[in-house]
Structure 1
């Protein structure tokens, strides 16, 4: 993963997954606002499990790249069977992909075998995958102090949102906002990984005072002074802020467009003379139903007369 392609490829996968979920949640909420219920994944008309199959395929490719294709000797171990230091990050990245593969595989099995518990358990598996991702990026073997570490730190904030909303979704399956924010956070992970890949491994985009340096078999960004490092980190923070603003604008515009396209249509019709007569008959029926069991109407006037008679009897007794 420590290359441009190694970040852009998984970034595109997260972006596509988040966009697919965002589109389907908004469409579902627009069509069925009152009866909306979230879904951890969305089938298609031609192939029900296409989303889960793609997650499994992408995870398998990522594992293969990290453990067998990327290493120089096409295997991640030293001759004595131990893990070399420069391959630790490969095992960390592959563990994340393995967890997402597990999520997708069990989501298919749950849908086939246990439909009643598939939603909550699938959400739980998704939470495990995001928790694994957060743990390994937080305890990453790569540099935490440099420019790359700043990108990873900000990436963790998006993962935290994905994890929190996935856990909340277990008990709040009818909350559109929980699903909306979760989809947007997954999409944002993809955007940030793509930005990270280009900014860290494109020489022309390296901040002033910093340079690409090869360490332990992979390239990292180093800065010539403490001032240059602080400036580079500040630029990363600004990039994150701009990306967040752009994504917010995109999400709101996308929501408004889909609501316009798929929103529930309210139809109006003019009343005919027959409809007016039916309404008058219905109103008469309602009034007739207000009569008491003795056949007398329950009106304010009759009630008032009853109270007046009681007052006259009370005044005669007093005299």
Structure 2
């Protein structure tokens, strides 16, 4: 992190993960509203662990970028110690390492075929630990806490806290769709906010009035001319967060309504089609029964008439 790409790339990862979870939770709830049970991750039809593999891949790339590719001279241990201007790189890499651990153990738990409730609860706990680590390191971040970047990180911590809380609550309430819905939306929110941070903090055209980009301790930060400019810049960040909150709320609820309606109509159509088949089968069987009964009665009547004619002749 600390650059536009360093925020936008993981932002897209969180955005895609949150959208993937929203899609699957809504789909599962629409198909099984009375027996809905949430899961910490969702397998794919072609590659079962594709979600977890991508998390591990993204985390590995992030660690490599933070420790070996991004830092100057590609070496975080220039003299055998961690340079002060690389501490934030280690903080970001540690967050990525925790998510890598979550994904790796999620695969391990699934392959060992433990009882589903226990397996999902442990996986959910690992996810909660990852969010807790993310919240801790952003809260104790070695980067600027007082400037514009600090305000972005402060508001990001609120979203991470929601992800952490809903993940922990989801362990005790796996049948609550609302908890899963909010958790997925918060992960989506994390991604959107990280992308916004990348563009707003490292694009000169988007820097607030009275502020400028300054190179400090190996990375660029936003500084402002005086308290008035800084206060205005932070207020703009608060407004952005409020607008994003409203926008993502509208998007999530509309996504639920539209997707739930589409899936519900398909389920209803499939149910009606099966009922039509049953009805047609019943009608055919009834017609066969009626036809057989009328035929037998006709044959019986014919036999009775024939016997009666013989008696008369006698």
TM-score (norm 1): 0.83
Q: 2:179 matched to 1:178? A: yes
* TM-score, normalised via structure 2 length: 0.84
Equivalent-residue separation in structure 1 for 2:40 and 2:192 (angstroms): 21
Superposition pairs of residues 31-42 of structure 1, within 5 angstroms: 31-42=31-42
More displaced stretch, 257-266 vs 43-52: 257-266
Give the match for residue 23 of structure 2. Answer: 23
Query: How far is the alpha carbon of 1:114 from its aligned partner?
Result: 3.9
Number of aligned residues: 272
**Corresponding residue of 2:202:** 201
Q: CA deviation at 1:251?
A: 0.6
Which residue is 2:159 aligned to? 158
Aligned to 1:45: 45
- Cα offset, 1:71, TM superposition: 1.0
Give the CA deviation at 1:2: 0.2
Q: Name the structure 2 match of 1:190.
A: 191
Counterpart of 2:168 in structure 1 is 167
Structure 2, unmatched stretches of 5+, are 284-314
- Once residues 189 and 36 of structure 1 are traced to their aligned partners in structure 2, the CA distance between those partners, rounded to angstroms, is 26
2: CA distance, partners of 1:20 / 1:229: 37
Give the superposition deviation at 1:252.
1.1
1:141 is displaced (CA, Å) by 0.1
CA RMSD of aligned residues (A): 1.6
1:182-212: CA deviation from partner (whole Å, max 9, x where unpaired): 0000000000000000000000000000000
Matched with 1:110 is 109
User: Unpaired runs of 5+ in structure 1?
Assistant: 276-319
Q: Which 4+ runs in 1 deviate beyond 2 A?
A: 266-269
1:99: Cα distance to partner? Answer: 0.2
Helix, strand or coil at the partner of 1:73: helix
List aligned pairs for 1:117-136, cutoff 5 A.
Answer: 117-136=118-137
Of the structure 1 ranges 130-139 and 255-264, higher mean CA displacement relative to structure 2 is found in: 255-264
Q: Deviations over 1:101-143 (max 9, x none)?
A: 0000000000011431210000000000000000000000001
CA distance, structure 1, for counterparts of residue 192 and residue 46 of structure 2: 29
Q: How far 1:78 moved relative to its partner?
A: 2.6
Alignment correspondent of 1:61:
61
Give 1:75 shift.
1.3
Q: For residues 75 and 178 of structure 1, what CA distance do their matches in structure 2 show?
A: 43
1:5 equivalent in alignment to 2:21:
no
